[in-house]
Amino acid sequence: MRKQLAVVMSGLVLVGCWAGIINAGESGHYPLGSEGIKAATLPPPGWYLKTYTTYYHSNLFKDGAGNNSGLGLDLDALAIAPRLLWMTGQKFLGADYGMDVLIPLVYTDFELDAAGIDDHEFCMGDMLLEPVDLGWHGDRWDIGAAVGLWFPTGKYDKNHPASPGKDFWTTMFTLGGTYYFDQEKTWSSSILGRYEINCEKDETDVQPGQDILFEWGLGKTLAKVWEVGVIGYCEWQLTDDRGSDVTWDPDVHDRVAGIGPELGLAIPSANMFVSLRSAWEFSAVDRPEGTTVTLTVTKRF
- C-alpha–C-alpha distance, residues 208 and 241, integer Å: 4
Q: Are 297 and 50 in contact (CB under 8 A)?
A: yes
- C-alpha–C-alpha distance, residues 174 and 146, integer Å: 5
Q: How many CB atoms lie within 10 A of CB 282?
A: 13
- Which helix (H) or strand (E) covers residue 14, if one does? strand 14-15
Structural domains in the chain, sorted by start:
2-300 (2.40.160.40)
- C-alpha–C-alpha distance, residues 266 and 76, integer Å: 30
The predicted model scores a pTM of: 0.89
- pLDDT reported for residue 26: 66
- pLDDT reported for residue 8: 40
Taking 70 as the pLDDT cut, the residues of the chain under it are: 1-26
Instruction: Please report, for residues 11, 62, 164, the alpha-carbon distance to residue 72 in angstroms, rounded to integers and kept in the order given.
Output: 16, 11, 21
- Interior angle at CA 9, CA 7 and CA 10, nearest 5: 65
- C-alpha–C-alpha distance, residues 296 and 298, integer Å: 7
- pLDDT reported for residue 1: 39
- pLDDT reported for residue 250: 87
What integer best gives the mean pLDDT of the chain? 89
